[in-house]
Amino acid sequence: MTIGIIGAMDEEVLYFRKRMVDFESISHGKQTFYKGRWHGHETIVVKCGVGKVNAAMVSQMLIDVYNVDKLIFTGVAGAVNPELNVGDILISQSCQQHDIEATALGFSQGVIPMYDGPSVFQADPTLLNIAYSAANELAKKMEKAVLKGKVVSGDQFISDPSQVTLLREMFTADCVEMEGAAVAHVADFNHIPFVIIRSISDKADGKASGDFQTFMAEAAQTSAEIVSHMLELK
Ligand code: ADE
């Protein structure tokens, strides 16, 4: 069994790159895949870059080229649920692309038009439960909240409280980021189980850009630690 682990930024995959032993790095175009073992599991770690297209490209490559059996995304997000604060953890129950929009054709925002599949993608229940247990075990030590909930993704960095209100009202979103729903879409299309793990770096409000710079590295490490602990539990 092979597990694909994706992060968007260096900080989100650094934890694995520093600790993987006997890994092989393989380049495909501008992407570098790190192949090795992690807690006894055959693992491929890759930084995809920011945004849904990058995330989708790398997810499909992990499936087609590396035959991964599961996809895990690790990284940071902006909080949409007011119960989530910087450093807290959200494990995806479901994911949706908030910026897909064909309302002029009669489709609701967030609905993929003329697509023979869902617009809200459900995470794999087994991966979700393992991630939730792993996060709770770590969170006890770190005094962080852990929620299961909905991740919404779009090709925008959100830094406006009125947009946060809209995302909460329209999608009942818990956090917002820029890749998770793209990974979920590709995983669902290929019948591959997935889960998205996000630690909160900001509240997607007027302070989001400063908070993101300040807290991103620490939040990214928290998320990576959860993934690592998940593979220990599995
Ligand atoms: N990732 C982390 N914070 C984010 C935000 N505010 N908007 C989009 N993606 C994010």
**Most ligand 1 atoms within 8 A of CB, residue of 80, 156, 177, 199 to mutate:** 177
Say how many residues make up the chain: 234
Residue 6 near ligand 1, beta carbon < 6 Å: no
> Is 234 a residue whose pLDDT tops 80?
no
**Tens digit of each residue's pLDDT (9 = 90 or more) over 210-228:** 999 999 999 999 999 999 9
Which atom of ligand 1 approaches the CA of 216 most closely? 2
**pLDDT over 70, % of the chain:** 100
Residue 84 and residue 145 in contact, taking contact as beta carbons nearer than 8 Å: yes
Does ipTM come in above 0.85?
A: yes
Whether 12 is catalytic is yes
* CATH (domain of 190): 3.40.50.1580
CA dist 167 → 36, 76, 106, 191, 214 (Å) = 38, 17, 19, 27, 24
**Beta carbons within 10 angstroms of residue 140's beta carbon:** 10
CA gap 170, 166 in Å, rounded: 6
Q: Please indicate whether residue 202 is annotated as part of the active site.
A: yes
pTM: 0.97
Question: Of ligand 1's atoms, which has the minimum distance to the CA of residue 158?
Answer: 7
Task: For residue 200, name the pLDDT band (cuts at 50, 70, 90).
Answer: very high
**Which residue in this structure is represented by tokens 């995304």?**
73
Q: How many domains does the chain have?
A: 1
The answer to whether the beta carbons of residues 3 and 68 sit under 8 Å apart is: yes
Question: What DSSP line would sit under 25-57, residue for residue?
Answer: EEEETTEEEEEEEETTEEEEEEE--SSHHHHHH
Q: Where in the sequence is the domain holding 148, given as residue range(s)? A: 2-233
C-beta of 215 in contact with ligand 1 (< 6 A): no
